[in-house]
Amino acid sequence: MNIKTGSVHSFHGRDVEVLFSRDDITSRLQALAKDIEKDYHGKELVVVGVLKGSFLFMADLVRCISLPLTCDFLRVSSYEGEHSTGDVRMEFDMTQPIHGKDVLLVEDIVDTGNTLRHLLSHLKAKQPSSLRVASLLFKETGRNGRSLVDYIAFEVPNRFVVGYGLDYEGQFRSLPFVGAFI
């Protein structure tokens, strides 16, 4: 299948418009990784992925970053279907201590910013030396915490997006592109 930006495909009974193709993502991640390498030159990073949505983004991003780093994960949930419940639940926490470490938190998407605010205060309490955020997507709704995010791969319109890690009721995560329901 030729999956190009702007094309529409049917998956799990839904029409999905491709917003960012696999190629778009690959080249954007290389640029993002260069920025991260510049900012963390001479340092060692702890990259913390927020499951489940960030798993593909994190896997591809860390392979582009030429710095010594370790990986860890935590898991939160706040969405039911297409809507945020507003209630962020930590389902499991990361395992390594980050006191005095340079931490890069990796998110799939920042929408209202609720999840991120919750995670930042949770991680700050562990006293890392520095804490920054990389998000694959940022919704252009204006109501959220743009200033909380240091590295953004793509901005997206206020539509429900799926693919490349992001799901709708557990499906669509394995699509190799980011798409929006139409």
Give me the 73-112 binding string for ligand IMP, x by CB under 6 A, dash otherwise: -----xx----x----------------------xxxxxx
Amino acid at 180: A
Question: Catalytic: 23?
Answer: no
Q: Which residues contact 60 (CB under 8 A, 6 or more apart)?
A: 25, 26, 29
Separation of alpha carbons 97 and 77, rounded Å: 22
Q: Give the shortest CB-155-to-ligand IMP separation in angstroms.
A: 13
Q: Give the shortest CB-106-to-ligand IMP separation in angstroms.
A: 11
Q: What stretch of H or E contains 142?
A: none
Report yes or no: 44 and 104 within 8 Å, Cβ to Cβ. no
State whether residue 91 is helix, strand or coil: strand
Binding segment for ligand IMP among 10-18, 21-29, 94-102, 158-166 (CB under 6 A)?
Answer: 158-166
State whether residue 60 is helix, strand or coil: helix
Interaction of residue 25 with ligand IMP, rule CB under 6 A = no
Of the candidates 60, 102, 108, 111, the residue annotated as catalytic is 111
Interaction of residue 49 with ligand IMP, rule CB under 6 A = no
Catalytic residues: 111
